[in-house]
Structure 1
Amino acid sequence: MPRRPARGARRYEPERSRRKRRIIGAFGVVALSVLGWLAFNAVSARNHLLDARAALEAAQAASDRDDEPEVDEAARRAGAELKAASNAVSQPQWSLYAHLPWVGDDARAVRTIAQVGATVGGKILDDLLDARGTLADGGLRRDDGSVDLARVAALRRPLGAAAAPLADAAERLGDLPQNGLSSSIRDAVEAAADAAERAANAVRVADRTLNIAVPMLRGSHDYAVVFQNSAELRPTGGLPGAWSVLEVRDGRIAIGRQGSGRDVIADGPVAPIDPGVERTLGARVATDFRDTALVPDFPTAASYQQALLAAVEGVDVDGVLAIDPVAISYLLGATGPITLSSGTSLSEDNAVDYLLHQVYVDIPDPDEQDAVFAGIVKQVFDRLLSADLPTADLIDAVSRAVGERRFLVWSDEDAVQRRISRTSVSGALPADGQGVGIYFSDGTRSKMSYFLDVDATARAVDCGSEGQEYRIALTLRSTAPPDAATTEPSYVLGPDFREKGAQVVNILMLAPRGGTVPVASILGGRFPTDDLSVDGRPGALLTLLLRPGEAAPLQISMSGPAGERGPTPFGMTPTVRFASTEHTIPSACG
């Protein structure tokens, strides 16, 4: 029987086994060292990212209180932290961490956030801070309130340089897969993607706005500023009511003649009308100023408005700017409150309610209402042109209005209009006819659209040989009070509408050119529509009655032309509480 080794004696071990154990032990030490290093770098990257986030929050807070030096300091501190975070995740060993089970997805997400942040937080951030400094304290205006066109043109360099990298950053963060991420990292990815998208949109809109502004402000031009009343919806945003002439003379801007759309009615069409539009909407789109916005293509509607002003009022303008009350509220956020002749103080907080509802309660006469709207437009523009207004606040307000399609521009100068057509400020239908559109107009002849809530989502659900198939989930809801029929003024309810308190919404649905006519259903049952065509695009018109408190959940189906496999532009009418932001339906074809 073999003898056991004595206690404390060394067991015999072959040389090969000893060598193997030494190798394993050494590997373990190295592995622990690597994992420790990785853990340290993970913690370091996380801490730098948290510090960057805190610095950016401090920059936002400083911006809200107009503390420009602190904005610069906090933003540059955020840039340094983002660069340090990127350095922490850029070592070759980090790739090992990114391939470890359980934590690899988180590591890849953190690395992407850090790398994107470092890219944006370097020269791009420096350029944007310099641009912000130029915008502060009225930096684009001279002492007399006129616009310094040379400085406007120079401002485009940093904005143009930042636009593409910010868009790329937003895309990279938006494409990060979120399955497999821990909850904290997932929240960080969502926050970073949202922040990048908002920054990219703001810079893109500001850059494009300035690109359009320079040629429109240079030289001698007159433009019509049209107040689109979204309490009575039209496809481009609202009923064209009060109008004003904006006189531009080499950067100097003044408000000239003003009038009401109700007075601009011709005996017959003042311009050629697309046959499909005329069959669908009638000749009044080129006869009555208020009905021009029934055309969902703003350049067409604006050209009719130009022609009507010339034919009826003898007013010659070089273009049209349309603005709605929500956009005016954004501008009031930049200018501060104004005081009306009645003594009413109008601010960002109460402008929408006053302009779209309370004014009809206080002032029953339509001519006096239009005079109030015209006076507000003049006061707001006078404030916008004051030399002491911080330009950064103004550009933020305009960018927001443009991004929500609440501020539209058309020029009859081809070179300028080509610039405009590449942006959402154009309000145009897609030039190739390959967009999907949902557009609203009031059928009550009332101001009940103030009580309309809208929710919508659009997606491509199939990629077949007959073209992509689209589904739009659309819910319309009346927020009118139950006793609206007895508490609202007749002018709001619609003097000629029999069912007081209800509202009729006409929904114009347009499919891509070469596609199928849209079909609408409620709770699975097909809803009757009138088939039509606009600009060669198949469409349908749905008329919907909404009583106070009622909601209508619609499912709209349509398809595009065979062979069209790319993403699809999606356009909608902005309403009082629904912002029709730039949107593209991702392709279902992969």
Structure 2
Amino acid sequence: MRRRVPGPLARKALLAAAVLPPAAAAWIVVTGMLAVDELHAAQRDLNALRESVTASASAGPRPASAVASGPNAESGQERLLRSAAAHAARAHDLTTGPAWYTVGKLPFLGRPFETVRGIAHASDRLVGDVLPPLVRAVPRLSAEAHAKGVPHALLELEREAPGFARAARVAAEVGDAVDRLPHSSWLPTADRGRAQLADQLDRLVPGTRDAAVAARVVPSMLGAHGPRRYFLAFQNTAEARGTGGLPGAFAVLRADRGRLSFERFGNNTELDGLRVEVNLGTEFADRYGSNEPGSAWANSNMSPHFPYAARIWAAYWRAHTGQALDGAIAIDPGTLGLLLRATGPALLPDGTELTSDNAMDLTERTSYARYADTARRKAFFVEAARAAAGRLMSAVDDPKLLTALVDAVRDVQREDRMQVWSAHAAEERLLVSRAFGGALPDTPGPFAGLVVNNAAGTKLDYYLDRSLVWAPGACTDTGRSVTATVTLTNRAPTSGLPEYVTQRVDVPPYRTLPGDNRLLVDYYAGQGATLERATLDGRRVELIPGVERGHPVYTLDLELPRQSSRTLVLHLREPEADGPPTILRQALVTPLRATVKQAAPCRD
């Protein structure tokens, strides 16, 4: 049989099939190297832009005319932003087209190419759509405040809100896209690039959301459309409560067209003995009703859900004064320390300096040894609050200090040491979506929350250490097994503490020593989770079940002797534990040490 010879068209097709893969490979290699160079150039521009923004912020606001034109820092920032956007766009262009699309779809071999292509696309969107409204707004708002006053700048910030919201939405979309890229491939360089971009997005995405919410709520909350009043609670974290610490000293903060002032200061004795009725639902009543939060001020913030405490505080204030409040804010000595680091020390009436280094120690340890008289000690707390507030107010009027103060507020937010509630429903809906709203999330998904309430009436939580280890186990048809290990350590010394710090107002029916503490320990699991068993120091223990905002809660009444550690282990089944949990971090003196163990996903 005669063999058929391919015709001219067939020969050209075979030649193309043989030549095209090497040509495509060469094209991808060359364009990939060029794209990486463009991405590095964009990163250099962004680094220079960050340094320029920091330098110009430290130098204080410029007049509006300087922002609009002339060889100044702001125009330099604009050039850097445009240059970074151009480099990112070229990187994206270089990694598009049929060759890149095809190779990215190849099983296994295409993973790093898909990653590089995704990084370029993400960078293009970030530099082109996310950063410009944020970067351009900062000098413009600063200049408006300098030239036309804070009230005008607040209205300008309000007008920037839609642009900030769009930037936040795009940042979230980019974050999701980068998360969907292959996390590992045969090319470590691509994997490192994706991991670095993911780390940057982990900081950027929440930041853009915070900025978007702030642009919506800050102008009105600072009195842009009329005066506002807020209850400002100074929480004493030496005696733990769900939102942080016992609400002791307080102030009433007035905001009027961006100007802040304090109308009065007081302490908790003013509010003791009052009785208020606040309907927070049957779930709240079932968990906290026996603690009488509406008549025992010290128990008003046992829940970690700050809006509950804020509404109760507002009701107390109305019962005490007849005055309705526009919201509530909670801070603690850790907050003051971070803010004073930016502003410099505050001077107390007796000449003592309240500094970033001693704010926690002075108010939650030293003061108890210094003042045996309870009334004098409470007066000292008010003096400290007043002095710190005065220092912060003076910083607001200093452009250089104000910039540092804004940075310090970000640090406070990162440590969850400030919580804000608005009595205005539209504002509150936005606040609870962000960490500074202090909300206990009510969304599905893996969750781990360790909350302690001091049940002894001591001030020993100054010496409390907490650790939480969340370890996922095997997957089943009903979810994943999870082991949560909680370790609590009481570092209180065996001698030398004032009686007020160690006294046991709970009057336990068993013998205790000075420095022994007692805690109500709550573990919050993910929605739908169930507890299979629990042990305390290796022995089986029964926990009290409950529910709060959809989360199963398991409670243990725990005696914690001085110089001791106790370990609670919960064996749970989480229905939706196919990723890392959201960690609830109660802000106390010593931060929670949380460890999340890794596991293979239940679903591919």
Residues 142, 153 of structure 2: 8 Å contact kept = no
Identify the residue that residue 114 of structure 1 maps to in structure 2: 120
Residue 41 of structure 2: aligned partner: 51
1:38 and 2:45 matched: no
| Residue in 2 that maps onto 1:485 | 494
Contact 2:537/2:566 (8 A) holds in 1: no
> What CA distance in whole angstroms lies between the structure 2 residues aligned with 1:140 and 1:390?
15
Counterpart of 1:49 in structure 2: which amino acid?
L
Deviation at 1:105, TM superposition (A): 1.8
CA contact (8 A) 2:49 2:81 kept: yes
1:247 is matched with which residue?
A: 254
More moved, 243-252 vs 537-546: 537-546
- C-alpha distance in 1 between matches for 2:473 and 2:19: 53
Q: Is the 8 A contact 1:516 1:559 kept in 2?
A: yes
Does the residue aligned with 2:451 lie in a helix, a strand or coil? strand
Deviation track 1:235-290 (CA, whole Å, cap 9, x = no partner) reads: 11221111100123343321111101243212545545766655654343112323
Partner residue, 1:129 = 135
- Residue 163 of structure 1 aligns with an amino acid whose one-letter code is A
1:323 to 331, 335, 340: 331
Alignment partner, residue 509 of structure 2: none
Which of 550, 558, 580 aligns to 1:544? It is: 558
Is 2:292 the partner of 1:302? no
> Residue 394 of structure 2 is aligned with which of 359, 366, 383?
383
Contact between 2:465 and 2:592, CA under 8 Å: does it hold in 1?
no
Compare 449-458 and 76-85 and name the one that shifted more: 449-458
C-alpha separation in 2, matches of 1:72 and 1:359:
51
CA contact (8 A) 1:454 1:474 kept: no
**Does residue 457 of structure 2 align to residue 445 of structure 1?**
yes
Q: Write out per-residue CA displacement over residues 54-89 of structure 1, whole angstroms, 9 at most, x where no aligned residue.
A: 333333344444465465554444333222221221
Q: Write the mapping of 1:489-528 to structure 2, written as runs, cut at 5 A.
A: 489-494=498-503, 498-510=512-524, 516=530, 520-522=534-536, 525-528=539-542
CA displacement at 1:93 relative to structure 2: 1.9
User: What is the 5 A alignment of 1:95-244?
Assistant: 95-98=101-104, 104-136=110-142, 139-140=144-145, 148-216=153-221, 217=223, 218-244=225-251
CA distance 1:374–1:89, shift in 2 (3 Å): same
Cα distance in 2 between the residues matched to 1:83 and 1:349: 46
Once the two structures are superposed, the pairs formed by residues 11-30 of structure 1 within 5 Å of their partners are none
Verify: 1:261 aligned to 2:268, yes or no. yes
Alpha-carbon spacing, 1:239–1:333, altered in 2? closer, same or farther (3 Å): same
**Cα RMSD after superposing both structures:** 4.4
8 Å CA contact 1:460–1:470 kept in 2: the answer is yes
**Distance in 1 (alpha carbons) for counterparts of 2:286 and 2:20:** 79
Give the AA of the match of 1:169.
V
Distance 1:177 1:577, change over 3 A: farther
- 1:127 CA drift (Å): 1.5
For the residues of structure 1 that align with 2:131 and 2:296, how far apart are their CA atoms?
49
> Aligned partners of 1:451, 1:61: CA distance in 2, in Å?
40
Q: Write the letter of the residue equivalent to 2:570.
A: I
**Counterpart in the other structure of 1:7:** none
Give 1:336 shift.
Answer: 4.6
In structure 1, C-alpha distance between the alignment counterparts of 2:124 and 2:528, rounded to whole Å: 46
Q: Deviations over 1:142-172 (max 9, x none)?
A: 7776674312212313211200010111222
Partner SS state of residue 486, structure 1: coil
Q: Which amino acid aligns with 2:123?
A: G
Instruction: Give the drift of 1:208.
Output: 1.1
Distance 1:60 1:473 in 2: 40
Distance 1:179 1:565, change over 3 A: closer
Give ranges in structure 2 of 5+ residues lacking alignment: 58-72, 507-511
2:90 maps to 1:81: no
TM-aligned CA deviation for residue 52 of structure 1: 2.6
CA separation in 2, counterparts of 1:304 and 1:201? 29
Secondary structure of the residue aligned to 1:247 is strand
3-state SS in 1 of match to 2:205: helix
CA distance in structure 1 between the aligned counterparts of 2:49 and 2:361, rounded to whole angstroms: 32
Q: Is the 8 A contact 1:243 1:260 kept in 2?
A: yes
TM-score by length of 1: 0.80
**Residue 90 of structure 1: SS of its match in structure 2?**
coil
Distance apart, 1:323 and its partner CA? 1.8
Contact 1:242 1:374 (8 Å CA) reproduced: yes
Identity in percent = 23
SS in 2 for 1:266: coil
Which segments of 5 or more consecutive residues in structure 1 lack a partner in the other structure?
1-13
Evaluate the alpha carbon distance shift between residue 369 and residue 406 of structure 1 in structure 2; reply closer, same or farther with a 3 A threshold. same
CA distance in 2, matches of 1:350, 1:90: 56
- Distance between the aligned counterparts of 1:231 and 1:136, measured in 2? 39
Deviation at 1:131, TM superposition (A): 1.4
The residue identity in structure 2 corresponding to 1:88 is L
In the alignment, is residue 60 of structure 1 matched against residue 74 of structure 2?
no
Change (3 A) 1:479 1:542: closer
Distance 1:97 1:516, change over 3 A: closer
Using the TM superposition, name which of 190-199 and 35-44 deviates more.
Answer: 35-44
**Secondary structure at the residue paired with 2:300?**
helix
Q: 1:523-558, CA deviations, whole angstroms, 9 ceiling, x for partnerless residues? A: 764333334455786533213344566554543345
**Cα deviations across residues 202-256 of structure 1 (Å, max 9, x unaligned)?**
1101221332223332313321111122232211122111110012334332111
Query: How far off is 1:118 after superposition?
Result: 0.3
Match of 1:370 in 2: 381
The farther-off stretch of 172-181 and 392-401 is: 392-401
Distance 2:322 2:593 in 1: 34
Please state whether the residue corresponding to 2:588 is helix, strand or coil: coil
Report how far residue 463 of structure 1 moved. Answer: 8.2
Per-residue CA distance 1:119-148 (angstroms, 9 max, x = gap): 1111432212111223446x5477776674
Contact 1:441 1:506 in 2 (8 A): yes
> How far apart in 2 are the matches of 1:345 and 1:509?
39
Q: TM-score, normalised by structure 2?
A: 0.79
Counterparts of 1:196 and 1:219, CA distance in 2:
37
Using a 3 Å threshold, how does the CA distance of structure 1 residues 98 and 236 change in structure 2: closer, same or farther? same
The residue identity in structure 2 corresponding to 1:56 is L
- Tell me, what secondary structure is at the counterpart of 1:44? helix
Report the CA distance shift for 1:304/1:134 in structure 2 as closer, same or farther (over 3 A). same
- In structure 2, relative to structure 1, the CA distance for the partners of 1:535 and 1:135 (3 Å cut) is same
> CA 1:94/1:390 → structure 2, altered by over 3 Å: closer, same or farther?
farther
1:86-120 CA-to-partner distances (Å, cap 9, x unmatched) read 12212332234435687532221111111100011
Task: Name the CA distance, whole Å, in 2 between partners of 1:269 and 1:22.
Answer: 89
2:98 aligned partner:
92
State the shift of 1:496 in Å: 6.0
Does residue 418 (structure 1) correspond to residue 426 (structure 2)? The answer is no
Structure 1 window deviating more from structure 2 (25-34 vs 215-224): it is 25-34
Q: Deviations over 1:178-203 (max 9, x none)?
A: 23253333222121101112111011
8 Å Cα contact 1:202/1:399 also seen in 2: no
Using a 3 Å threshold, how does the CA distance of structure 1 residues 200 and 396 change in structure 2: closer, same or farther? farther
